[in-house]
Copies of this chain bind each other. A is one copy, B any other.
Amino acid sequence: MPHTVSREIHLKSRPRFLPSREDFEIVEVPVPRPENGQVLVRNLFLSVDPYMRGQMVEQARANSFALGKPMDGACVGTVVESKRPDLKAGDYVLAEKSWRELYLSDGSELKKFEPDGLPVQTWLGVMGISGFTAYLGMLEVGKPHSRETVFVSAAAGAVGNTACQLAKLKGCRVIGSAGSDEKVEWLRTHGGIEAFNYKKVESIEGALKHLCPGGIDIYFDNVGGPHLEAALESLKTFGRVLLCGMISKTEADGRPFPLTNLNLAVRKRLTLTGFRASDHLHLFEQFSSDMRRWIEEGKIAWTETIVDGLENAPDAFLGLFRGENLGKMLVRVE
């Protein structure tokens, strides 16, 4: 049977904590032509995301990545050849089959979509899981009211940036922190957000107190660590903390950042809520339609960082932990 060849990035070894290039290897695998009921898909864009680190490190988790296999994550591809009536060559599909060029599928794991004028990679970012995570956290969990003050960390990241935009859309005052002047500049000029470079302030707590002397109502936490500690100091009574991720836990030696002021949650009657978008997929259609409309109305600004070439996917992924992405970090598979 004739076959083609696909390059894949495999997980070679489990990092103890932070992954490095040596944990990945690129391999070539044969991909057969599709049989009846199958389609052959070529990936166009891959999403690399911080959560993948956890599934690399721990073998015991139900969803751990397997050694010697590609790390499955969100990707956008196009159908190359179809032996299914519901899909034809040229169709765009979303799947969780990333870190490879080509794959066969029986269709069950594919979600066909119409780009409808937007770049296809948007379905990995603002129209995809990043946007949905921001939507879910900020709107469904946070429920911001007009004129509330909202603080978002990693505000130039894929989720953070959309979280900022959604809070702004609800009439909130939005403060964002980011780790470079370039990101701060983007947030200010394109995002319409009050932003500061947390690496250049004396303390995050001081910066927040200065920017929000009246306190903050909602903190959308993408990082944990010193940002969370500072936000707890600035939150108003009955404030809400939306716990989306704690990349700050990712210190060089993997030691968790100790939080020393959670007692403020009692004194100020705060609510801290951990959430994950995938628990709420019943809201995805509503999200898609809302987000599409807001984009058309020009209410959502976003950006992306695109790394070219499957072979550079590990660098793109590792770059997330060095804050190298402005907006969504994507790999263009060429």
Is A224 interfacial (CB-CB < 8 Å)?
A: yes
Please tell me if the beta carbons of B249 and A263 are within 8 angstroms of each other in the complex. yes
Chain B residue at minimum C-beta to C-beta distance from A250: B263
Enumerate A249-308 residues with CB–CB distance to B below 8 Å. Answer: 249, 255-263, 265-276, 279
Q: Which residue, A243, A245, A255, A260, has most C-beta atoms of chain B within 10 A? A: A243
Is A26 interfacial (CB-CB < 8 Å)?
A: no
- How distant is the Cα of A276 from the Cα of B270 in the complex, in angstroms? 10
- How distant is the Cα of A245 from the Cα of B261 in the complex, in angstroms? 13
Is A320 interfacial (CB-CB < 8 Å)?
A: no
Q: Which residue, A54, A228, A249, A263, has most C-beta atoms of chain B within 10 A? A: A263
Is A244 interfacial (CB-CB < 8 Å)?
A: yes
- How distant is the Cα of A259 from the Cα of B249 in the complex, in angstroms? 12
Please tell me how many copies of the chain the complex holds.
Answer: 2
Please tell me if the beta carbons of B266 and A245 are within 8 angstroms of each other in the complex. yes
Please tell me if the beta carbons of B269 and A279 are within 8 angstroms of each other in the complex. yes
Please tell me if the beta carbons of A260 and B262 are within 8 angstroms of each other in the complex. no
CB distance from A163 to the nearest CB of B (A): 15
With A269-B276, A271-B271, A274-B270 in contact, is A246–B258 under 8 Å at CB? no
Which one, B228, B257, B265, B275, contacts A243 given CB within 8 A?
Answer: B265
Q: Which residues of B contact A266 (CB under 8 A)?
A: 243-246, 274-276
Which one, B244, B258, B267, B275, contacts A260 given CB within 8 A?
Answer: B258
Interface string of A26-44 (1 = CB under 8 A from B): 0000000000000000000
- How distant is the Cα of A266 from the Cα of B273 in the complex, in angstroms? 8
Chain B residue at minimum C-beta to C-beta distance from A265: B274
Interface string of A215-234 (1 = CB under 8 A from B): 00000000010001000000
A interface residues (Cβ-Cβ under 8 A, vs B): 54, 224, 228, 243-246, 249, 255-263, 265-276, 279
9 contacts between A and B (CB under 8 A): A228-B262, A244-B266, A245-B266, A258-B258, A262-B262, A269-B274, A270-B274, A271-B272, A272-B273
Closest 8 CB pairs of A and B: A258-B258, A265-B274, A256-B260, A266-B274, A272-B272, A246-B263, A259-B259, A269-B274
